[in-house]
Amino acid sequence: MNTSSFIDTITTANMTPYFISTTHKSTGLKSIDQLISRHTISLATQEGLLAENPFQKSLVLYGQDQRLDYMKLPPCMYMIIAAASTDEKFTIHRFYLPYKNGIRFATYLLNAEGEVIESVCYQRNAKYLAAFKVIRAEINMAANMQEEIAA
């Protein structure tokens, strides 16, 4: 499968946010596929372009950020950010299931290059876990494509 068929790159003046488009690879769950096609997955890391909708929310944090204590992050992510230097940039990308009263689906910790360095799936069902892995693979693929475009 050609990766450019499901990853759109949107370029603005001096920043290059990227999105996983509506023609993404199927996650195996129709409900999550519909959410992705409705909202896309925004991987932008600039403050004004962060995702904020019922399906996903993203936030930029820096190493040793004081907001860590109030974020309710998984311990593995908390430790990575708390141990990082203050100039190291991270993006927390959280996914929710609005059709299940907004319960948490997954959280991904991305580094400054957009690569997933830690991820947590909150759903225990095997189908949700498979969808989680597909989304994680697409995020990593989008980060790799972004690096190729920048080069």
Give the pLDDT confidence of 91-142 residue by residue, as tens digits: 999 999 999 999 999 999 999 988 999 999 999 999 999 999 999 999 988 8
Q: What is the pLDDT of residue 17?
A: 47
Q: Specify the 3-state DSSP secondary structure of 85.
A: coil
Distance between CA atoms of 11 and 52, rounded to whole angstroms? Answer: 20
Distance between CA atoms of 34 and 124, rounded to whole angstroms? Answer: 20
- Whether 47 and 86 have beta carbons less than 8 Å apart is answered as no
